[in-house]
Amino acid sequence: MTTFPTERIHNVVLVGHAGVGKTTLAEALLARAGAVPRAGKVDDGTSLLDTEPESVKAHISMSLAVAPFEWTATDGNTYKVNLLDTPGSIDFAGEVDAAMGVADLAVFVVSAVEGIEPQTELLWRKAAAMRLPRMVFVSKEDKDRADFHAVLAQLQATFGSGIAALELPLGEAGTLHGVVDVLSEEALDYDASGAHHTEPMPADVADEEHSLHDALVEEIVSGDDEQLERYLSGDTPSVAELERTLAHEVLDCTEFPVLLGSAATGVGIDRLADLLCELSPTAADRTTTVLAGESTVEVQADPAGQPLVHVFKTIADPYIGQLSVFKVLSGTVKADDKLVNSSTGAEERLHGLFLLRGKEQTPVTEVVAGDIAAVAKLTNTHTGDTLAPKGTPVRVAGVERRAPQYGVAIVPRTQADDDKLGNALTRIQAEDPSLYVDRVEETRQTVLRGLGDTHIQVTIDRIARKFGVNVDLAPLRVAYRETVAGKAEAEGKVKKQSGGHGQFAVVNLRVDALPRGEGFAFKDATVGGSIPRNYIPAVHTGVEETMAKGGVHGFPVVDVAVEVFDGKYHSVDSSEMAFKTAAAQGFKDAMEAAGVVVLEPVSLLTVTVPSAYQGDVMSDVNTRRGRVQGSSTNEHGEQVIEALVPAAEITRYAIDLRSMTGGRGQFAAQHHHYDVLPAHLVEKAKQTLPKQH
């Protein structure tokens, strides 16, 4: 592939709900551009862009794919378009975030049959927050029940001003055969090869087209004072002038062109490629925000500037090692260049550069600012890292990492799996930063957290396939604790004095409850040397170790005040071990005498849903032993419900909320406090305790 100047490189991400045809559209663009001999198909597993076996098997995209193609537009110039195809499932939203972070335009693919679906709305908001320019492509215009006008009205109602239809369909569903170019007022009829020719405007769309044309021209010129003045004086700008103005408005995120077509029949695909090149920003048009110490700097994509590289995706390949997919933010990067990782300080050598198209790798000697490429074996660099010249420790601000929504405990199947698990998890996290791994000592579990059950299951499959590590899943244990319900005293005694060196210690102590969250307080109240000072630390340790091992019910003990007020010792037979053991026994007895309660963690659950689901969510919270704290309305008119809910009741909430709201609900949960577990649930909680070995 030819090296293109920065001002002719377009980085375009395809986003939208699952099943709208993003990958199929990408395949159609590649085929129409001649980048591939023919378009692959998702359903039969021949897609160039769904490269992993899990995606092929499930017939859905699970990771972002890079698909560059060259296109000679109607202005006579040839451009390079780096298509970034992304998954539609919320389980793989981390991939979408990464792609949006390096794109200069987002094309929202919306089905002409289903219209706007939940993920489309959420991603639109994210793009708006990022100030990412947007277009809309209404797909599946050839399918039964396709209705462009209904979808256009829905787009305008949902996303407000700026939605500008540049095309109308000629025919629809089974009769789709072309599009109307609203700006030039031409009817374009398509043949079986996907090429089009101009035909007279059909009478059944002429009036609508002319009305839409006038409205579109007014919409465009209203954003340019000079053109508006000319227009009001009766001088209508040319189509080329209108397109240039529209391109500026797309860059400024004030206009969002709407196109249509069918990836299956080829209708509208060449028009989409033309307008991606003519209306969307190039890599030279937008800057990237980087952090330099405490300040932020806007970096221009200047090929002559200092080299700056942002790694936005990592692929863990079991055969060739780690592949790092990157965008050059500034400068020109050449093979064997040395740059420094701004996060780790490690120097990295870019041994071999290559362009990716699905699995295909094309070696290149240099990559200019604004372009996307890949490099192998950057051992100390992971997704999100920035590579810069030595002495220039700047890093890309990046897209905020999503909080994990769903977790499972993983258990290695064999000792061999256990030996390799740590390395496998490290490498899979490098590939997918939306995964989190915790070793929870309190519950003795390794917990894998992600964005949903499908995300977790696919990760388990990838660990087995790529690294040969098999794990089983186990339910998450809740970190229950226990504390004393009142005050009590007890005596702990160790006495072994028959023959030889003996063991002797007596510890008298009292326990009392502390306020929630206070932890542990220890007081030495002995007088007269009943326990020598050098043995008091052993008493302290004996109590603390017993608290950690578990109290009456086996859960760690918290929020207890322990006072040692008396004891006995022997000048020969007493020892630190004896006092430690006596303290442990005395503490256990005192706890039983005081009575105990089990504490459960309670989370602050914040749920955001459309108003129609508010009642269902609140009712569901009540069934989970939750207490609604209040609700409010956010800027999008949605209800934000806050509730305190026991953590044990929301371990599968990511799955349940999606089911309850049709995917329209979002939530966040964070630990809030510990509260007393109802007595009738204590036995059930004890069943989750790890087996003692």
- Taking only the tens place, the pLDDT of each residue in 574-588 is 999 999 999 999 999
| Amino acid symbol at 302 | D
Residue 158 to residue 563: CA distance in whole angstroms: 65
DSSP for residue 27: H
A 10 A CB-CB count for 306 gives 13
Yes or no: say if 221 and 213 are a contact pair by the CB < 8 Å rule.
no
Residue 688 pLDDT: 86
Residues 6+ apart with CB under 8 A from 165: 152, 182, 212, 216, 257, 258
Yes or no: say if 267 and 179 are a contact pair by the CB < 8 Å rule.
yes
Both tokens of 540, joined, read 């302290």
Both tokens of 399, joined, read 């897209």
pLDDT tens for 183-225 read: 999 999 999 989 999 999 999 999 999 999 999 999 999 988 8
Residue 265 to residue 191: CA distance in whole angstroms: 9
Please report which helix (H) or strand (E) contains residue 78, including its range: strand 78-85
Residue 319 to residue 240: CA distance in whole angstroms: 50
State whether the Cα torsion 650-651-655-656 is positive or negative: negative
Residues 6+ apart with CB under 8 A from 608: 634, 638, 639, 640, 641, 665, 666, 667
Beta pairing partners, 71: 79
Of 379, 147, 138, 346, which Cα lies nearest the Cα of 261? 138
Residue 3 pLDDT: 85
Of 167, 160, 102, 127, which Cα lies nearest the Cα of 16? 127
| CA end-to-end distance (rounded Å), the chain | 61
Interstrand relation of 386-388 and 560-568 (parallel, antiparallel or unpaired): unpaired
Chain CA centroid to CA 282, Å: 26
Interstrand relation of 520-524 and 560-568 (parallel, antiparallel or unpaired): parallel
* Ramachandran assignment for 485, one of left (phi > 0), alpha (psi -120 to 50 degrees), beta (any other): alpha
Residue 38 pLDDT: 87
How many residues appear in the chain? Answer: 693
Yes or no: say if 311 and 341 are a contact pair by the CB < 8 Å rule.
no
Q: How far is CA 429 from CA 195, 217, 228, 422, in A?
A: 44, 49, 53, 11
Residue 667 to residue 653: CA distance in whole angstroms: 9
Residue 234 to residue 243: CA distance in whole angstroms: 19
Residue 581 to residue 538: CA distance in whole angstroms: 9
Yes or no: say if 582 and 507 are a contact pair by the CB < 8 Å rule.
yes
Residue 692 pLDDT: 59
Q: What is the mean pLDDT of residues 5-31?
A: 96
Rg (CA), the chain: 32
Residue 196 to residue 262: CA distance in whole angstroms: 13
Of 217, 240, 243, which Cα lies nearest the Cα of 230? 217
Q: What 3-state DSSP class applies to 242?
A: helix
Residue 293 pLDDT: 81
Task: Quote the crossing angle between the two packed helices 203-221 and 225-232, to the nearest 10°.
Answer: 130
Q: What 3-state DSSP class applies to 95?
A: helix
- Provide the b/e sequence for 136-150 (b: ≥16 CB within 10 Å): bbbbbbbbeebbbee
Say what the pTM is.
0.89
Yes or no: say if 309 and 387 are a contact pair by the CB < 8 Å rule.
yes
Q: What share of the chain has pLDDT > 70, as a percent? A: 99
Interstrand relation of 360-364 and 353-357 (parallel, antiparallel or unpaired): antiparallel
DSSP for residue 280: S
pLDDT at residue 30 greater than cutoff 50: yes
Map tokens 């006072």 to a residue: 563
pLDDT tens for 558-567 read: 999 999 999 9
DSSP for residue 400: P
Q: Which of 54-68, 311-325, 342-356, 399-413 has the lowest mean pLDDT?
A: 311-325
What is the set of domains in the chain, with CATH numbers? 6-279 (3.40.50.300), 288-396 (2.40.30.10), 406-474 (3.30.70.870), 482-594 (3.30.230.10), 599-686 (3.30.70.240)
pLDDT at residue 258 greater than cutoff 90: yes
Residue 571 pLDDT: 87
Interstrand relation of 9-15 and 78-85 (parallel, antiparallel or unpaired): parallel
Q: What is the mean pLDDT of residues 343-347?
A: 91
Yes or no: say if 448 and 550 are a contact pair by the CB < 8 Å rule.
no
Yes or no: say if 560 and 514 are a contact pair by the CB < 8 Å rule.
yes
Map tokens 């009305």 to a residue: 211
Of 156, 159, 177, which Cα lies nearest the Cα of 168? 177
Question: Which class for 627: exposed (0-12), middle (13-18), buried (19 or more C-beta within 10 A)?
Answer: exposed
Q: Which of 130-139, 354-363, 406-415 has the lowest mean pLDDT?
A: 354-363
Alpha helices in 483-561 (DSSP H): 536-549
Residue 1 pLDDT: 61
Residue 581 to residue 562: CA distance in whole angstroms: 16
- What torsion do the CA atoms of 87, 92, 95, 100 make, to the nearest 10 degrees? 70
Residue 693 pLDDT: 43
pLDDT tens for 516-553 read: 999 999 999 999 899 999 999 999 999 999 999 999 99
**Please, which pLDDT band fits residue 672 given cuts at 50, 70 and 90?**
very high
pLDDT tens for 601-650 read: 999 999 999 999 999 999 999 999 999 999 999 999 999 999 999 999 99
Q: What 3-state DSSP class applies to 670?
A: strand
Q: What 3-state DSSP class applies to 422?
A: helix
Both tokens of 71, joined, read 């296109």
Q: What is the mean pLDDT of residues 446-473?
A: 95
**Please, which pLDDT band fits residue 413 given cuts at 50, 70 and 90?**
very high
Both tokens of 338, joined, read 């040395």
Residue 430 pLDDT: 85
pLDDT at residue 474 greater than cutoff 50: yes
pLDDT tens for 71-122 read: 999 989 999 999 999 999 999 999 999 999 999 999 999 999 999 999 999 9
Q: Degrees (nearest 5) of the Cα angle 110, 111, 112?
A: 115
Map tokens 């000319």 to a residue: 230
pLDDT at residue 321 greater than cutoff 80: no
What is the residue-averaged pLDDT of the chain? Answer: 93
Q: How far is CA 614 from CA 157, 436, 620, 637, 667, in A?
A: 22, 30, 10, 12, 13
> What does 287-332 look like in DSSP terms, one character per residue?
EEEEEETTEEEEEE--TTS--EEEEEEEEEETTTEEEEEEEEEESE
Residues 6+ apart with CB under 8 A from 546: 557, 583, 584, 587, 588
pLDDT at residue 334 greater than cutoff 50: yes
Residue 124 to residue 133: CA distance in whole angstroms: 10
Residue 172 to residue 318: CA distance in whole angstroms: 47
